[in-house]
Amino acid sequence: MRVAAEQLAKELNLSFQQISLFEQALTHRSAGSINNERLEYLGDAVLGMVIAKRLYQRFPQASEGQLSRLRSLLVRRQTLAEVGAEIQLSQYLLMGAGELRAGGQSRDSTLADAVEAILGTTYLELGNDAVEQLIDHLFLQRLQKLSLEQCEKDPKTRLQEHLQSHNLPLPEYKVISVSGKQHQQRFSVKCHISVLKMEAVGSDMSRRKAEQDAARKLLEELVK
């Protein structure tokens, strides 16, 4: 594990006096009681602060709500998992045998948690400047591609507000099927408005996205 951790640290241009805490950041809870959960907690807070700062600097005219929605795009699990995949994080993780057999090293949640843990370790061991540099390295391209147009409210929120404006009850969401292997699952979700006898089905690789897809389809039908 030490060689793997040192290799990843080198790839990320991080120079630790002691590699042990960085090794812990790469250790999944299935591998033992000394794992990356506490470091993940810290890294989540550090990431949110640095991304908030960068967005504040990049979008001087944006409102608080717009900045919050942009931040959510960058710190959400899916984005963190994409970052983890880009640095090939799965090959450096220490996990229990059962979790490895189940493909746990490739799960979005596992990759996202480990990215946050790495940020937490970097902050503790190397300080604020170093963790800001690392976050810039990992997130800069995504940050540069953001625009205020992406601040639009998500389909579930827009559907809810549309229904409330017409004094209608909120929609109900129900998972109707889950297919694929555990780390490559595809969800199908039904969005239903009973009083209108309307429904739509959405699908995606996460339940949240499937709900958004269903809400978007139903909203399109409502506003026709």
Structure-block tokens of residue 40:
């993940």
**Cβ–Cβ < 8 Å for 196, 162:** no
Q: In what order do the strands lie in the sheet with 186-193?
A: 172-179, 186-193, 198-204
> Out of 108, 113, 116, 211, which one is annotated catalytic?
116
Task: Return the structure tokens found at 176.
Answer: 């109707």
Residue 154 a catalytic site member: no
Distance CA 177, CA 188 (A): 5
Closest CA to 89 of 111, 118, 108, 74: 111
Taking the C-alpha atoms of 19, 21, 22 and 24 in order, what is their torsion angle to the nearest 10 degrees?
120
From residue 190, alpha-carbon distances to 175, 179, 202, 217 in Å are 6, 15, 6, 10
Is 116 noted as a catalytic residue in this protein? yes
Whole-angstrom distance, CA of residue 198 vs CA of residue 212 = 16
Q: Which of 44, 113, 125, 213 is catalytic?
A: 44
The set of catalytic residues is: 44, 116
